[in-house]
Amino acid sequence: MMKLARLFCWAGFLLPAVAQVTYQDLKTADPRNWLTYSGSYSSQRHSLLKQIDSGNIHALVPKWIFHVPRQERLESVPIVVNGVMYITQSRAAYALDGRTGRSIWSYRYPSTLGQGDNRGAAVYGNRVYFTIPDAFLIALDARTGSFLWQSKIAEAKDGYWAPAAPLALNGKIVTGVAPGDYGMNGLLAAFDAATGKQLWRWDAIPKPGEPGNETWAGDSWKTGGGDTWLTGSYDPELSLIYWGIGNPAPDFDGDVRKGDNLYTESMVALDADTGKLKWYFQFTPHDTADWDAVEIPVLVDAPFEGKMRKLLVQANRNGFYYVLDRTNGKFLNGTPFSPHLNWATGLTKTGRPIRVPGIEPSLQGTNVCPSVTGATNWMSPAYNPDTGYFYFEAVDGCQIQLKAAQKFRPGGFPFDATGVTESPEGPLQTYIRAIGLTTGKPQWEYKLIGARVYGAGVLSTAGGLIFAGSPEGSFLALDAKTGRELWHFNTGETIKASPMTYSFKGEQYVAVEAGSNVVAFGLFNPNEEGR
């Protein structure tokens, strides 16, 4: 500093130092920033920003594009702190000027054994955290991209990798691993935000002698899967982390792992300080359809049957929408949201699926609905407290599911025991759906014509808007109440990431990653010359 001051002979007025990201900031979630993967600890993805609304949405124009070299498909959600945007890809992180898309720094990890998707960063203090395909948590200086430290989450040489955006809590960073489909057992780990030291670790598959191990036949728990590849949510008052757990392995051959296979296909609540399991709720006991339950848990305080409740809701890949009490994991309500659901006729009073016998993978093939891709997937949902609706992307359809015996091979190889073929019952079809928060009752749906696969997540804003993206490249805004299409833009590349919004110096922006680009939108401003 002295050097700079000398250089300019300068002793003038200073801007106050901008505070680094504190735990309080993360809890408050100022709508001008977007500090976590899902925008806030509750993961509602509802922004209070309303400069862009249903009345002026026609004036929404692209403001800038940032192209990420050597990347085909970005899947991260940008993080924004005081106008600075952080994005990540599998081995790299970038800091951008959120108003102009101009680069401030970039960081590239030297080399990795593996490859894989990356879904974003976490910020805490003056640091940016992200994970790399070799299952390390990386800490960078948020102002320069300088590498500070790395900590191992799991063994890359065993086949682990780490795609999830980490979650920053009070002085600790929590993250998980992939892939369960290789028979690699999942875990969650917390690291000291300053030093990278591991503080606790929770294993998703209980070992012999631990509660839950009895839900695995023989030694099948050893290759049980149950990974943690999408970011969870957090309730600071209860000090509980909520994280969805992935599928059991081998995916399609359940014969070798008889039992409920805990804690695969469950929502788990862990004590944030110790990593101890507080409660769990299993959506799909003994899953044979690869219906990972990692979908974002959305935390809402709302009346349920006349009483204010702390709720956790999730649209699950198995085709049901669940309402749980997040203090204890008690099942409150569950409704199918997929019209093609054929594997269960409903849910019991405790939320256990009532299975249709024979609807499971077979040697000759069985038509199972929803498909293996799931009735929904990693695409982030949203909740708008103004409408009381829960919004998410759904994929309707069926697939023929097959099974065959397969031996586990250590070192990171697929362990799915066969797979799927197309069902004659029509192609898959993608929708944006709105349902009642506590009832699960359908409110509206918007069909994404031409979309047969997963697309983007959704964003809700106080401007009465739902932003969504289609895998064919359209970015669009819908009326939150009616689902009516209000605006669209062809980004030219497939959209597989979830949109977000932020504001800087009084102007609101909406950004989404499309293919190899980050695209930011804002209202047309005729006074912008000179920008």
Partner 1 sequence: MAALAQQTSNPPARTNPLSGNEQAIEEGHEIYNRTCTTCHGVNGAAGARGPALAGRRGYQRSTDASIFDAIQGGIPGTGMPPSGLAITDIWKVAAYIRSLRASASDTFVPGNVSHGEQIFWDKGDCGSCHMIGGRGGILGPDLSSIGEERTLRQIRDALTQPRAQIPDGYRPVEVVTTDGRRLSGILKNENNFSLQLLDSHDQLQLFTRDELREVRYGHASIMPANYDKTLSPAELQDLLAFLSRQARDKIHRSRKNTEHEP
Q: What positions carry a catalytic annotation?
A: 290
Residue 70 lies near partner 1 (rule: CB under 8 A): no
What CA–CA distance (Å, rounded) separates 241 from 231? 10
What CA–CA distance (Å, rounded) separates 30 from 76? 20
Q: Judged by CB under 8 A, which of 58, 70, 157, 222 binds partner 1?
A: 157
Q: Judged by CB under 8 A, which of 31, 39, 78, 83 binds partner 1?
A: 83
Q: Where do the DSSP E strands lie in 398-439? A: 399-401, 420-422, 429-436
Note whether 468 and 393 are within 8 A (CB): yes
Nearest distance from C-beta of residue 513 to partner 1, angstroms: 20
Q: Judged by CB under 8 A, which of 27, 51, 73, 104 binds partner 1?
A: 104
Residue 412 lies near partner 1 (rule: CB under 8 A): no
Span interacting with partner 1, options 142-150, 398-406, 430-438, 492-500, rule CB under 8 A: 142-150
Residue 175 lies near partner 1 (rule: CB under 8 A): no
Helix (H) or strand (E) holding 385: none
Note whether 60 and 477 are within 8 A (CB): yes
Look-up of token digits 């081998």:
250
Instruction: For partner 1, give the closer residue by CB, 421 or 527.
Output: 527
3-state SS class at 8: helix
Instruction: For partner 1, give the closer residue by CB, 70 or 197.
Output: 197
- For residue 339, the tally of other CB atoms under 10 A from its CB is 12
Instruction: For partner 1, give the closer residue by CB, 157 or 258.
Output: 157
Helix (H) or strand (E) holding 5: helix 2-8
**DSSP conformation class of 206:** P
Q: Judged by CB under 8 A, which of 58, 67, 70, 102 binds partner 1?
A: 102
Note whether 470 and 456 are within 8 A (CB): yes
- For residue 256, the tally of other CB atoms under 10 A from its CB is 17
Nearest distance from C-beta of residue 461 to partner 1, angstroms: 23
Q: Judged by CB under 8 A, which of 22, 28, 56, 100 binds partner 1?
A: 100
The sign of the CA dihedral 358, 351, 262, 245 is positive
Cis, bond preceding 166 (omega within 30 deg of 0): no
Per-residue mark of binding to partner 1, 8-47 (x: CB under 8 A): x-x-xxxx-xx-----------------------------
Q: Judged by CB under 8 A, which of 31, 39, 78, 98 binds partner 1?
A: 98
Site residues, partner 1 (CB under 8 A): 1, 3-5, 7-8, 10, 12-15, 17-18, 82-84, 95, 97-100, 102-105, 110-111, 113, 126, 134, 139, 141, 143-144, 146-152, 155-157, 196-197, 504, 529-531
